[in-house]
Homo-oligomer: A and B are copies of this chain.
């Protein structure tokens, strides 16, 4: 199997971390192809960054599918561009948030997502509701700028641990979901400290990608995710116009 992992921001060290997490859980014979968005923001913190990450993300997915990927993972916990990517691609596309929530849902009745910045908290709260976990999952923000997760000595881990401890003490959390792709390397360590399941979205999404490929399942093209209709696109984005055959 060949699975594309796209980092929708332009920071290569985050792509590498996601790829490493992906390879750690991938089945024997699964090839992980990592890609970094070629345009857009250096990190995705809130709605504006998320919007401008879309062209780079969609470009990488189109290229990855053309190069033979059988499934794609969008390595951002906001599930940025997930619906657009599912419409564009004929291969299945997985998001971190959706994958991590359903994974945690197999292990616990109640759990808490710990994300980076307050500005992403409600965004993720809305996603948990959209995916049907509104009554089961809480969301906490740890006040960590995303790129601090790439820096030694930033204090990011301490802040993350503080919110995990509050989730266990105050939320009745039975499991923890790490709410940022940049935390992918921390899951095992945190799990061994807190003795509850700690779910990383990159790992979860890669395994869902393998699962769909093995079941010969791909995105429905009936209704919501129908392929884009051919039409002109103007200006700087004219290269993104859907082909007539789509």
Contact = CB atoms under 8 A, between A and B. Distances in A.
Interface of A: 10, 25-29, 37-43, 45-52, 54-56, 58, 81, 83-84, 86-88, 92, 94, 98-99, 102-103, 105-111, 118-119, 121-123, 126, 129-136, 145, 168, 172-175, 188, 191, 195-197, 199-200, 203-204, 207-208, 210-212, 214-220, 222-226, 228-229, 231-238, 240-242
A46 to B, nearest CB: 6
Number of copies: 6
B92 A106 contact: yes
Contact of A204 (B40, B84, B215): B215
A42 B234 contact: yes
A172 to B, nearest CB: 6
A41 B231 contact: yes
Given A54-B52, A211-B204, A234-B42, A98 B105 contact: yes
Given A174-B225, A211-B204, A216 B188 contact: yes
A20 to B, nearest CB: 14
A90 B64 CA distance: 38
11 contacts: A42-B233, A42-B234, A46-B226, A48-B242, A51-B58, A106-B219, A108-B219, A108-B225, A145-B229, A197-B219, A210-B210
Q: Closest 4 interchain pairs by CB? A: A132-B132, A39-B235, A207-B211, A51-B84
Given A42-B233, A46-B228, 10 more contacts: A27-B214, A45-B231, A49-B228, A51-B58, A110-B122, A145-B229, A174-B225, A175-B222, A197-B217, A236-B236
Contacts of A123: 83, 224
A163 to B, nearest CB: 14
A119 B87 CA distance: 10
A43 B26 CA distance: 37
Contact of A109 (B43, B51, B196, B223): B223
A231 B42 contact: yes
Contacts of A43: 231
Nearest to A10: B234
Contacts of A131: 105, 132
Contacts of A212: 103, 106-107
